[in-house]
Amino acid sequence: MKAFLRLILAAVLVSGIAGCTGVAYYAQSLEGHVKIMTARQSVARLLDDPSAPEALRAQMRDAQAIRQFAVDELALPDNRSYRSYVDVGHEAVTWAVFAAPEFSLSLRTWCFPVYGCVPYRGYFSKQAAVEFASELRDQGLDVHVSGVTAYSTLGWSSDPLLSTMFTQGETDLAAVVFHELAHQRVYIQGDSEFNEAFAVAVETTGVRKWLRLSGDTAGLRRYEAERARREQFVALVTMTRAELARIYESSGSMDEKRAAKTVAMDKMRTRYRRMRDNNWGGYDGYDAWFDAPINNAKLAAVSVYSDQVEAFVRLFTLCSGDYPRFYASVRKLGKLERADRLETLKTTERCLAAR
């Protein structure tokens, strides 16, 4: 943790050259992270504490088993991350602010130490996130604010389990732990689409293996059904993004593009309702997403976590489901230039790591 804090402190000092806004942002990041770290409770001690609520101890037992599975079966880092617990007292631990121009699906990026350039800006305070989002809207940008249930320091500090990670049950907890630990295994600065899709691939294949080896066939069926719905949701978003790209590239006036953009969003909602009612048997888990405002930033944020996932899962299969070979292959991809990296990922017909 000390090394991570030194990096953040250095960033605060460097950002002071650029002005007070930079200092304030890094200061809230440092303060929020330190608050989380100082509130940690050892999972092992909670399990041994008879005064701890039984529901909490049951969650810690699940988390401990998932953490060990990540090491034994997924070759994820065996370190101090996710061996402690913090009750954050909120529905999210941080809030991410995404922004894109009114007539573009390209997300604005911000650059930070450790992480490189990323297509969002995170805040430990929801109010601060909302205020920053308002500033961006005043600049004419499409803005989306999303609550985040977990974040990774990429192994620079011992990331704890958070209360926000337990709200959706054991399977979702496993998914989050596998995803965040994957970032510690491979992380390429400045390529969020690559990093997030890789982590989702580890998360997805890992959860499937977890459920299979646990003998939870009912849980596996539920998980596969949710993954299928997720894929259809992403396909719908991708279709809408393509329609919007054509609108934005057209020769129409700004008013004409704005009107066509509204029509495209309405059409997407209509398609969703049809899919929900006809294909999903009325499953309404995505209603809140579609009922809330939709704009370029919200649509583009989905793509960050989804566009390359299928290609990574394909590479995992080419590596015969061998996680160390898969990780070695991904590291090789990370050494390529960005365009070559994506092209190789999509077209390779073999695992890139030797047996």
pLDDT of residue 302: 96
Dist CA 4 CA 113 (whole Å) = 10
pLDDT of residue 66: 98
pLDDT of residue 19: 40
Dist CA 261 CA 206 (whole Å) = 38
73 touches 213 (CB < 8 A): yes
Q: Strand pairing of 84-86 and 94-100?
A: unpaired
DSSP for 76-117 reads: ---SSTTSEEE--SSS-SEEEEEEE-TT--PPP-EEETTTEE
Whether the model pTM is above 0.95? no
Through-space distance between the first and last CA atoms of the chain, rounded to whole angstroms: 35
pLDDT of residue 29: 83
pLDDT of residue 8: 52
| 10-residue mean pLDDT series, the chain (355 residues) | 50 42 77 91 96 96 98 97 96 96 97 85 94 97 96 89 96 98 96 96 98 97 97 97 98 97 98 98 97 97 94 98 98 96 96 91
Q: Give the amino acid at 333.
A: L
